[in-house]
Structure 1
Amino acid sequence: MPNVVEPSVRVNRGPAAGPENRRALIAAAREVYAEAGLSAPFSQVAKRAGVGQGSLYRHFPDRTALAVAVFEENIGDLEAFASDPERTIDDFLDLVADQAVVSTAFIELLSADVADPRVKHIGARYREAVELLLERQAASGRTPEGFDVDDVLVATDMLAAVIARTPPEGRADVAARARRLVHSAFRPATR
């Protein structure tokens, strides 16, 4: 009797697959939008993640929701980083630049939706991480006099904007240049 090959059947795991699908969609979004920018079709994210479009829209009804999910992970990384007492604003901005290099499409998207409450929440968490670092650094005398949280936020915006405007092949170089400038601005004045 010949061997019969059963067709592969994808089993629908229902709600149990939700968290795994969400993680797969976020990872796929990072890849798709890093490669093609915001012009990539939203459906491409679902395809790359290996899930149906229904699953994509259940988790992320629009591009902003997806961008916020990506930045929720980024902010979590930044908060953990900032909680280490050995970290400085310079270290923090290095990580921000690294994240910006691979998240430029999301930066553009969130910059266009700054009034969205989901985006404001991300901004508030970012500000708290910066405040923690600045307070600790100021207490040790390692912050230039007169520098405050808003200065760091402006530096971050400038850093992210220049990286986002640069073609992918030049982003790492531009990020390195921008970091050098920011590092020199955040050095305490020597007397």
Structure 2
Amino acid sequence: MSHTRRPNRGPSAAAENRAALIAAAREWFAADGYDAPLASIARTAGVGKGSLYRHFPDRASLALAVFEEGVKELEALAAEPGTTLDDMLALMTEQAIASTAFVGMVSAPIDPRIAQVRDRVAALLRDLLAEAREAGRVRAYITTEDLVTAMGMIAALLAKIPAAERRETAERAWLLLFSGIACDPRGSAPPAPSDR
């Protein structure tokens, strides 16, 4: 991947440096996932590592700034009348295709701040999952945690393949996963796994 290095803007351009760091991190996270090298992010933004750490004292702070927009997009979708669980999972999948780091970050809360973002996303899924259960579209035993785990599995898979193959791979993965999540379209849900 080619990352364009931006010229150093000097210490008086704090807001500009912060924006450049977020843009560079978005680019690196999209390509390399949540563990993208911070030194490379700083270099691409045209700032030193010291500037990066003044704005974002740790990886989680930077990731939260980058992905707040994605969470707001999910929240806006959830607020739209008629939004379904399928709509939410489709948008989350699109975000994972664009940047595997987003769902990877949300599905593995190792920092309390990331756990808060994860809880925000889980709350959106929880309400839509309840509606899908009531409508008979999802097996009764599926939990919000199951959906978050499924998204994490897909994000982990997508992180390991070229960007050009991510959409098709995500579609195939969801087909496999949904055979265990969705009710039979004819209306008869198979027994829960513990009953087999």
Given the two structures, how large is their TM-score scaled by the length of structure 2? 0.72
The secondary structure found in structure 2 opposite 1:55 is: helix
Displacement of 1:29: 0.8
Return the match for 2:146 from 122, 145, 151: 151
Structure 2 portions without partners, runs of 5+: 1-8, 188-196
AA in 1 matched with 2:149: V
Query: Does the 8 Å contact 2:137/2:182 carry over to 1?
Result: yes
AA in 2 matched with 1:46: A
Given the two structures, how large is their TM-score scaled by the length of structure 1? 0.73
Map of 2:157 onto structure 1: 162
The secondary structure found in structure 2 opposite 1:172 is: helix
Select the structure that is richer in helix: 1
1:60 to 2:56 alignment = yes
Return the match for 1:69 from 61, 65, 72: 65
The secondary structure found in structure 1 opposite 2:115 is: helix
Displacement of 1:128: 0.7
Return the match for 1:180 from 175, 180, 187: 175
AA in 2 matched with 1:152: L
AA in 2 matched with 1:48: T
Aligned residues: 179
Displacement of 1:139: 4.4
AA in 1 matched with 2:65: A
Return the match for 1:126 from 121, 126, 130: 121
- Could you tell me how far apart the structure 2 residues matched to 1:132 and 1:111 are? 18
Residues 126 and 40 (structure 1), Cα distance of their counterparts in 2 relative to 1, 3 Å cut: closer
Map of 1:100 onto structure 2: 96
The secondary structure found in structure 2 opposite 1:166 is: coil
Instruction: Spell out, residue by residue over 1:38-96, the C-alpha distance to the aligned partner (whole angstroms, 9 max, x if none).
Output: 67542332333344544321221222322232233222211211222322222211211
Structure 1 portions without partners, runs of 5+: 1-9
Query: Does the 8 Å contact 2:132/2:138 carry over to 1?
Result: yes
Query: Does the 8 Å contact 1:131/1:149 carry over to 2?
Result: yes
Query: Does the 8 Å contact 1:32/1:45 carry over to 2?
Result: yes
Q: Which has the larger radius of gyration?
A: 1
The secondary structure found in structure 2 opposite 1:47 is: helix
My pick for the range that moved more, 68-77 or 127-136, is 68-77
- Could you tell me how far apart the structure 2 residues matched to 1:156 and 1:138 are? 19
Query: Does the 8 Å contact 1:82/1:132 carry over to 2?
Result: no
The secondary structure found in structure 2 opposite 1:144 is: coil
- Could you tell me how far apart the structure 1 residues matched to 2:183 and 2:34 are? 39
Residues 110 and 78 (structure 1), Cα distance of their counterparts in 2 relative to 1, 3 Å cut: closer
AA in 2 matched with 1:123: R
C-alpha RMSD over aligned residues? 3.1
Map of 2:4 onto structure 1: none
